[in-house]
Structure 1
Amino acid sequence: MTNEQIIENNQREWWVQRWLELLDSYRFKKRLERGRNYAREGNVLSIDFEAAQALAKVQGSEPDPYQVSLSMEPFTDEDWNYVIDTMSEKAIFSAQLLAGQMPETIEQVFISNGLNLFPFTLSDVHSRCSCPDKANPCKHIAAVYYQLGDRFSEDPFVIFQLRGRSKAQILEALRERRSQGTIKASSDTVEKEEQKSQSATPKTQKKSSSDKQKSELNFEKFWQYEEPLESSLAVIVPPTDKKTVLDILGKIPLTYAEAEAAQQFLEQVYQVASQQALITAMKREE
């Protein structure tokens, strides 16, 4: 691996590095290197997903692009139910995934359920290409491997897609789990209030009309709502344009070096604060 590649990998997100490490472990380096050059030159025209399969078009030496397909062994519905249940136990997973980040301990969620999110070797990735080259991976397949790394960087849910669940399906399942927890908490509160009401003395139960009217007109508590909100009625997601408050405020009035350092620091603070806000909004404990 060249110094340029090492620097490039160090700047990648950890889940992208895990994918690139898988490629680097392949013994036929020259095949992959040709594919890397193909990807950098823009020969991968498109990558679309159909269920748990990635379908790509790669421009080769022929006028018509070659058709490439990649897939991994998808998890069963039962497997995914266990995984989603485990994810929903900690709000940090939902917060980071909603923010487009892959939690660093996400692999442990799958391992605890007897699964592996990332493949062990490149042979665990099933690939086909319409080109006449009998070698696998050919340079067209290899180009798609590296292009997928860029897709992982843009959207960490791509690795989940290859295991059989789309981004929409995972987030919807997490919202349902949170909703079920909220409904249970709300029903427990109602049950406690009913028990409290049933055990009350007749004197406590009977209120004068003036007391009742006074209670109804308590303006200090008018905007307060003690019951938990139904989480399925609200979807908390980051801005679709990926702009933060820092982007909206514009250039920091400092020297270039100072502004660059301040910008990087504030971006880290903003990311942590955003994740904590999502966790607080979900009203879930770690």
Structure 2
Amino acid sequence: MSAHDWIDGRGWDRRFLDPLRETGDGTRFARGRVYAGQGRVTAVTITPGAVRAVVGGTRPYTVTVHQPTVSPEVLVRAMRAIGADPYLRETLLAGEPEHEVEDILDVHGVALFPDHLHDLRIRCTCPDHGDPCKHVAAVLFTLADTFGRDPLALLNWRGADDHVLAALAVDSGDSADPDGAEPGEPGPLSVDLEPLVELSADFWTGTAPPPVPSAAAYDPLPHWDAGPPPVVAALSRLYTALGEDPDPPGETGS
């Protein structure tokens, strides 16, 4: 969905934008919607706590939108709780989060969406002092469109960096961290792996192994029930002949 085709979104796009439109200047929001639809919002960067964008008007204006971030510890716990349910995790990563995702975030104290335009700290370099100006409104429409397509972008703005989002890959909820270990610290089920070469001297910790039986010479002849084949007899005669001395002492061969 693009900002200029904004009609009946049901995802995080509308959850983000609706409270802002209800508490801001409707006329300027209407003009900002047109600006967004015309592609005037460029150079959008989203980082934890801050959004920056450039909006074209009579000249380019810079817009910044700030919102307080959630602590990484709280976000990690919330991401782990979501990651404990593979279905919820996949819907979030696919850009179509279920309502239960927001419920889990709420339980962990992560309020994703502002309730009022004044919950945001916004600034534009234009001379218009509207609440908001059309440039800020255009950026908010563009942000809503982005959050609707990529919910992780909203989580990133709220403070979830790559390290925090990596907790989604952990298939365990809060119960997997009962001792409150911080991210990166070993938990109760952590295993300290050592290279096998360093354990080669004492890898056997049981009783002494049984002795290895000595090797015995193998004689195939007893296994031929029907007697040795003709080649064995021929070879026997050959080896006998080779073992005989053809020139006994005192005799001269021809």
- The bucket for the TM-score relative to the shorter chain is 0.5 to 0.7
Q: 1:24, CA displacement in angstroms?
A: 3.0
Indicate if the aligned counterparts of 1:67 and 1:129 stay in contact, CA closer than 8 A. yes
**Which residue of structure 2 aligns with residue 40 of structure 1?**
37
1:31-69 CA-partner distances (Å, limit 9, x unpaired): 11111111111211221123321110001112xx11111
**Which residue of structure 1 aligns with residue 16 of structure 2?**
19
How far, CA to CA, are the matches of 2:190 and 2:136 in structure 1?
52
How far, CA to CA, are the matches of 2:46 and 2:102 in structure 1?
22
Q: Does 1:53 align with 2:50?
A: yes
1:63-115 CA-partner distances (Å, limit 9, x unpaired): xx111111211001222133123223322222222323222222211221233
Query: 1:1-286, aligned counterparts within 5 Å?
Result: 8-10=6-8, 12-62=9-59, 65-166=60-161, 168-176=162-170
How far, CA to CA, are the matches of 2:131 and 2:89 in structure 1?
37
How far, CA to CA, are the matches of 1:78 and 1:18 in structure 2?
25
Indicate if the aligned counterparts of 2:95 and 2:148 stay in contact, CA closer than 8 A. no
Amino acid at match of 1:18: R
Amino acid at match of 1:56: A
SS of the aligned residue for 2:88 comes to helix
How far, CA to CA, are the matches of 2:115 and 2:107 in structure 1?
17
- Structure 2 vs 1, CA of residues 78 and 91 (structure 1 numbering), >3 Å: closer, same or farther? same
How far, CA to CA, are the matches of 1:114 and 1:154 in structure 2?
24
- Structure (1 or 2) with the larger CA radius of gyration: 2
Indicate if the aligned counterparts of 1:9 and 1:17 stay in contact, CA closer than 8 A. no
Indicate if the aligned counterparts of 1:44 and 1:144 stay in contact, CA closer than 8 A. yes
How far, CA to CA, are the matches of 2:146 and 2:66 in structure 1?
15
Q: Could you tell me the TM-score, scaled by structure 2's length?
A: 0.62
Amino acid at match of 1:31: R
**Which residue of structure 2 aligns with residue 270 of structure 1?**
none
Amino acid at match of 2:37: R
How far, CA to CA, are the matches of 1:18 and 1:76 in structure 2?
22
- Structure 2 vs 1, CA of residues 103 and 184 (structure 1 numbering), >3 Å: closer, same or farther? farther
SS of the aligned residue for 2:17 comes to helix
How far, CA to CA, are the matches of 1:135 and 1:28 in structure 2?
7
- Aligned sequence identity (%): 29
SS of the aligned residue for 1:56 comes to strand
Indicate if the aligned counterparts of 2:51 and 2:65 stay in contact, CA closer than 8 A. yes
Q: Could you tell me the TM-score, scaled by structure 1's length?
A: 0.55
1:157-201 CA-partner distances (Å, limit 9, x unpaired): 1211110113x33441222465x96x97897xxxxxxxxxxxxxx
Amino acid at match of 2:7: N
Amino acid at match of 2:163: Q
How far, CA to CA, are the matches of 2:189 and 2:7 in structure 1?
45
Structure 2 regions of 5+ residues with no counterpart? 177-186, 192-206, 214-254
1:250-272 CA-partner distances (Å, limit 9, x unpaired): xxxxxxxxxxxxxxxxxxxxxxx
